[in-house]
Amino acid sequence: MNYFKIDYLQYYKRHDPQTAEEQEMMENLFNVLCSSLMATVNRDRFLRGEGLQLMNLMLREKKMSRNGSLKVSLFATLFVGFII
């Protein structure tokens, strides 16, 4: 399965990472999600599902996940219309 589960990031909607290692893991999860969104099938699943809504909620929470969710939102909308 090529699709990255956004459930891993859902925890960070309301919680900040407690350690430097956890913060790095969260950033890596956002990077993996951005990479997976370059594939059309994954981007379609993300947009049809509640991925973009979760990223929007993360932006509103003003937690450490804010930067990553903005990056993912840009990746999800930037590549729409391109064939990769």
| Packing angle of the helix pair 20-36, 66-78 (nearest 10 deg) | 10
Q: Is residue 78 part of a domain?
A: yes
Q: Is residue 25 part of a domain?
A: no
Q: Is residue 8 part of a domain?
A: no
Domain containing 52 equals: 41-84
Backbone CA torsion sign across 77, 79, 83, 84: negative
Q: With 0.85 as the threshold, say if the pTM is over it.
A: no
DSSP state letter for 83? -
Q: Is residue 11 part of a domain?
A: no
Q: Is residue 70 part of a domain?
A: yes
Cβ(36)–Cβ(42) under 8 Å? Answer: yes
Element (H, E) at 33: helix 20-36
- For residues 14 and 17, give the distance between their C-alpha atoms in angstroms, rounded to a whole number: 10
Walk along the chain (84 residues) and give the pLDDT tens digit of each residue.
345 677 788 888 888 999 999 999 999 999 998 988 888 888 888 888 888 899 999 889 888 999 999 999 998 888 665 555
What is the number of domains present in the chain? 1
